[in-house]
Amino acid sequence: MYAIVEIAGQQLKVEKDQQLFVHRLEGKEGAKVTFDNVLLIDDKGKVNVGAPAITGANVSAKILEHLKGDKVIVFKKKRRKGYKVKNGHRQYLTKIQIEAISEKGGAKPVAKKEEIKAAAPKAEAKPAAAKKAAPKAAVKKAAPKAATKKAAPKAAAKKTDNKDKK
């Protein structure tokens, strides 16, 4: 069983007993946190997708430690200008362990299938409207051809001017 959950602005795939690093969370080491913004849950092939999140589902985790990530060097340079800038950055991270994934909103996928079937007749009505719009498109295509005919005499006039100059 796994879930895709949004933690600290990132969407992560999590499983039970998995340890992962996320952006710094508020809370002390050893505290438990719950994430309610669960986007997808897969339970042995049975997939439940939220729209955008699954109501009633949550992921609980335990904060193991707060730490800093590896140092990232940012170096900027412009050739032949004498411009060099060197900066560094270390991201504050939290190491968490996923303890449980709970799903309580299991009735959503059935409702979505019914909505898709109900939306299908509406989609059939739209091609009829597209047929009505087709003659307008034909008129628009004819207009640029007329514009090119007007431009042609001007080009011919310029050619005659060039001959006179020689």
Token pair for 22: 């996320």
Q: Is the distance from CB of 83 to CB of 77 less than 8 angstroms?
A: yes
pLDDT digit string, tens, across residues 65-107: 999 999 999 999 999 999 999 999 999 999 999 999 998 854 4
Within this chain, do residues 31 and 90 fall inside the same structural domain, yes or no?
yes
Within this chain, do residues 84 and 11 fall inside the same structural domain, yes or no?
yes
Tell me the whole-structure pTM to 2 decimals: 0.58
Using CA atoms, how far apart are residues 15 and 97, in angstroms rounded to an integer? 9
Using CA atoms, how far apart are residues 32 and 66, in angstroms rounded to an integer? 14
Within this chain, do residues 75 and 130 fall inside the same structural domain, yes or no?
no
Within this chain, do residues 97 and 131 fall inside the same structural domain, yes or no?
no
Residue 139 lies in a domain: yes
Using CA atoms, how far apart are residues 85 and 81, in angstroms rounded to an integer? 12
Domain carrying residue 68:
2-106
pLDDT of residue 25: 96
End position of a domain, from candidates 76, 106, 136? 106
Within this chain, do residues 133 and 90 fall inside the same structural domain, yes or no?
no
Q: Is the pLDDT of residue 150 over 70?
A: no
Within this chain, do residues 87 and 126 fall inside the same structural domain, yes or no?
no
